[in-house]
Amino acid sequence: MTYIFGNWKMYLTLEESLSLAQSLADMSVPDGVQACVFPSMIAMHSVQESLAGSGCGVGVQHVAWTPRGAYTGEISAFIAKEAGSAYALVGHSERRHIFGETNDDVRKKLEACMESGLAAVLCIGETHEDKAQDKRTYRLKKQLMKALHGLSQDAPLLIAYEPVWAISGSGGGEACLPADVQDIHGWIRTEVAQYTDKDIPILYGGSVNQGNAASYIACDDVSGLLVGSASTHADSFAKIVAST
Ligand code: 13P
C-alpha cells in the first residue's frame, strides 16, 4: 500500500475546503494507493461527507489526549473518529515547535488514538540546528523512543518523517534529496523494529510537489508521502496521487 496524505494545515477557509473536496471527489486513485486529506477541524466533517464514496479519506491534524470533558478548545481522538476521521496526525512539527507540544504530549495523544481505534500518523523530524550539530539521529531516536516504547498498538500506526528544515512555510523549505530520505527511512525502519514487530509504513514529508513526488516514492523504504501546500490544489494533489 502507498499512502498519499494531504495536510491542508490552516491554509483554507470552509468554502475553499469544500470546493477543493468537490474537485477531489472525482480524482482517480490507483489500486494500492490510500489517499487521505487532513482539513481544518471546522471543515473536517463536511469534507468527509463530500468525499464519502470517493477513493479519498479524511483525517484530523491533531487530537486531544482525553476522550471528553471540560477541555475548552480541544477535540479528542474519540470525537474525531465518531465524526468520520480515519486518521490523525500526531506530533506534527508545527504543533511541536510553534505550539510547544512535548514528546510527553505526543505520547498521550498516540495512546488516545490507540484507545479510540483511530489510526495515528506519528510525525517526527529534526530541526536545522539538530542537523548542523550532528544530532539528527539523536533527535529522531528520542522522539521514537518516547512515542513507541511500550505503546500498545490497538489501532494502525504510521510514521511520517518530516525534517523541519524541509517543510515549506514553517520550516526552511530546503529539498531533502531522495537518497538522503532513503538513508534515514532505512535507519528509522531499523529503529522502529525495536518497539514493534509490525511493519509500520514510513511516509516522507517536506516540500513534496508534483515534480519530485515520484523520486521519493521510488525509494525502497518510503511507503508514502505527507504533502502540505501542494495538497491544497486539486490539480497538484491529483498529479501526486497519480505519480505513485
Ligand atoms: P510542505 O509540503 O508544505 O512542505 O509541508 C509538509 C508538511 O508539513 C506536511 O505535514
Q: Which residues are catalytic?
A: 92, 162
Q: Is the CB of 61 under 6 A from ligand 1?
A: no
| Predicted pLDDT at 172 | 83
Q: Is the CB of 110 under 6 A from ligand 1?
A: no
Determine the 3-state secondary structure of 152 from DSSP: coil
| Predicted pLDDT at 178 | 98
| Predicted pLDDT at 231 | 98
Q: Is the CB of 229 under 6 A from ligand 1?
A: yes
- What ligand 1 atom has the least distance to the C-alpha of 94? 8
Q: What does DSSP assign to residue 161? A: E
- Give 61 Cα–ligand 1 centroid separation in angstroms: 12
- What ligand 1 atom has the least distance to the C-alpha of 167? 4
CA dist., res. 28 & res. 26, Å (int) = 6
- What ligand 1 atom has the least distance to the C-alpha of 160? 10
Q: Which three cell numbers stand for residue 190?
A: 531499523
Name the nearest CA neighbour of 115 among 157, 161, 153.
Answer: 153
* Low-confidence stretches of the chain (pLDDT beneath 50): none
Neighbours of 32 (CB within 10 A): 8
Q: Is the CB of 227 under 6 A from ligand 1?
A: yes
Report which protein residue has its CA nearest ligand 1's atom 2. 228
- Give 173 Cα–ligand 1 centroid separation in angstroms: 9
Q: Which three cell numbers stand for residue 228?
A: 502540505
| Predicted pLDDT at 174 | 86
